[in-house]
């Protein structure tokens, strides 16, 4: 039987995780004749009772592994940890807040059985999101596709990966990963399943606006150096403009009508100053990225790992 590992990053999900597990359980149960399921909850340093909610969950038909990190390392690290730690024939990565409907799993497995190594779910309608979240995510995806030709709008992390694809992802040397982007970058033929994002179970999204902004910048920087080229281009344009304005001023000085436009000088100074600052900042971003990679620190640290064997409730009854 083929082994399927369900990788579920969880950060402060105590309110919804039991509901998630029970829906997942009943979705997987009819498929258990053909597949061996393993559910891995990657508890990403939750500060609430997520861990005990998992251990108190009684009715599972499947083995559940609870992997507790020492602190919050982020969802990307959690996904990577799951791929790295659990051997499997295929992986399904999904959120634990029921925004990734388990009902897609049978279809994902069907596609996998047909030979697709990547099955992706795409958002055909987005759930309730604040306008600022929508604005950020649209700007981010448009920017990313413009600068790095990665088309990821409406993609989600809810994916099935064949072990072969997972192996490739694990072999990539970078420490800071952007799962969605990397899967796309690998370029395996994939099939897409549309889904409507339901409302979040439990508390509101764990992303803060600032966090989302940092995540966006970080992902653009790790996927393309186009902004650096852009800066060079702007520099050249500025140089051409400066030469024109310089020649004009020089000419005015020669024919004796100089000292006009104090305002122009100030404006130019400010403009050049800001362009310089932006360019320096950008270079800094890439440097920081290199620094982070060079430090080579582990992506995540595990505090403990607990296996809850399957409790065959059907047999007990
Ligand atoms: N998550 C995580 N670590 C984090 C933040 C989130 O493991 O630092 C998990 C979270 O528990 C959920 C999934 O990643 O299962 C997606 O998070 P969330 O629902 O907050 O994000 P959104 O749905 O807004 O993208
Ligand atoms: Mg969510």
Q: CA quadruple 295, 300, 303, 305: dihedral positive or negative?
A: negative
Q: Which two tokens stand for residue 294?
A: 């060079």
The closest-lying atom of ligand 1 relative to the alpha carbon of residue 94 is 15
Instruction: Report how far ligand 1's centroid is from the alpha carbon of 54 (Å).
Output: 16
From the list 202, 210, 182, 297, the residue with the least C-alpha distance to 11 is: 202
**pLDDT at position 122:** 94
Residues 6 or more apart in contact with residue 63 via CB below 8 angstroms: 37, 38, 39, 307, 308, 309, 310
**pLDDT at position 165:** 97
One DSSP character per residue, 125-145 reads E--S--HHHHHHHHHHHHHHH
Which ligand has an atom closest to residue 20 CA?
1
Q: Which residues does residue 38 pair with via DSSP β-bridges, in sequence order?
A: 5, 63
DSSP class of 197: P
**pLDDT at position 76:** 95
The closest-lying atom of ligand 1 relative to the alpha carbon of residue 42 is 7
Q: Which of 75, 154, 218 has most ligand 1 atoms within 8 Å of its beta carbon, as the pocket-test mutant?
A: 75
Q: Are 144 and 150 in contact, with CB atoms under 8 Å apart?
A: yes
DSSP class of 30: G
Q: Which two tokens stand for residue 150?
A: 């990665």
**pLDDT at position 203:** 64
Residues 6 or more apart in contact with residue 235 via CB below 8 angstroms: 275, 279
Q: Are 136 and 216 in contact, with CB atoms under 8 Å apart?
A: yes
Q: Which two tokens stand for residue 138?
A: 């649209």
The closest-lying atom of ligand 1 relative to the alpha carbon of residue 197 is 23
DSSP class of 43: E
**pLDDT < 50: residue spans in the chain:** 315-317
Ligand 1 binding pocket, CB closer than 6 Å: 9-11, 13, 44, 72, 74-75, 78, 95-97, 99, 205-207
Q: Write the pLDDT tens digit of every residue in 165-218.
A: 999 999 998 888 899 999 999 999 999 999 998 877 666 677 778 888 888 888
Q: Are 73 and 42 in contact, with CB atoms under 8 Å apart?
A: no
- ipTM exceeding 0.95, yes/no: yes
Q: What is the CA radius of gyration of the chain?
A: 25
Instruction: Report how far ligand 1's centroid is from the alpha carbon of 73 (Å).
Output: 11
**pLDDT at position 317:** 43
Q: Are 11 and 53 in contact, with CB atoms under 8 Å apart?
A: no
Q: Using CA atoms, how far apart are residues 5 and 41, in angstroms rounded to an integer?
A: 10
Instruction: Report how far ligand 2's centroid is from the alpha carbon of 162 (Å).
Output: 24
Q: Which residues does residue 192 pair with via DSSP β-bridges, in sequence order?
A: 120
Q: Which residue has the tokens 């992802």?
A: 169
**pLDDT at position 73:** 95
From the list 148, 290, 282, the residue with the least C-alpha distance to 220 is: 148
The closest-lying atom of ligand 1 relative to the alpha carbon of residue 72 is 8
């Amino acid at each position: 039987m083929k082994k399927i590992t369900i990788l579920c990053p969880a950060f402060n999900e105590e309110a919804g995780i039991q509901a998630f597990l029970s829906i997942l359980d009943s979705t997987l149960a009819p498929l258990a004749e053909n597949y061996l399921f393993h559910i891995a909850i990657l508890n990403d340093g939750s500060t609430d009772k997520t861990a005990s909610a998992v251990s108190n969950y009684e009715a599972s038909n499947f083995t559940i592994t609870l992997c507790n990190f020492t602190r919050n390392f982020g969802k990307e690290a959690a996904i990577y940890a799951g791929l790295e730690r659990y051997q499997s024939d295929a992986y399904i990565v999904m959120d634990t807040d029921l925004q990734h409907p388990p009902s897609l799993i049978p279809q994902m497995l069907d596609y996998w059985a047909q030979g697709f190594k990547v099955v992706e779910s795409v958002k055909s309608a987005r759930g309730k999101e604040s306008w600022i979240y929508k604005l950020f995510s649209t700007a981010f995806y448009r920017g990313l596709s413009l600068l790095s030709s990665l088309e990821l709008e409406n993609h989600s992390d809810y994916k099935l990966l064949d072990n072969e694809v997972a192996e490739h992802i694990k072999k990539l040397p970078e420490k800071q990963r952007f799962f969605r982007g990397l899967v796309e970058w690998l370029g395996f033929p994939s099939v897409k399943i549309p889904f409507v994002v339901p409302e979040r179970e439990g508390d509101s999204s764990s992303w803060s606006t600032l966090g989302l902004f940092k995540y966006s910048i970080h992902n653009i920087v790790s996927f393309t150096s186009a902004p650096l080229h852009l800066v060079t281009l702007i520099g050249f344009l500025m140089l051409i403009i400066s030469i024109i304005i310089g020649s004009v001023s020089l000419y005015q000085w020669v024919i004796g009508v100089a000292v006009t436009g104090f305002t122009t000088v100030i404006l130019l100074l400010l403009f050049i100053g800001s362009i310089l600052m932006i360019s320096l900042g950008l270079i800094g971003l890439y440097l920081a990225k290199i620094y982070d990679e060079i430090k080579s620190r582990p992506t995540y640290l595990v505090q403990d790992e607990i296996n809850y064997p399957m409790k065959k409730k059907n047999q007990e009854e």
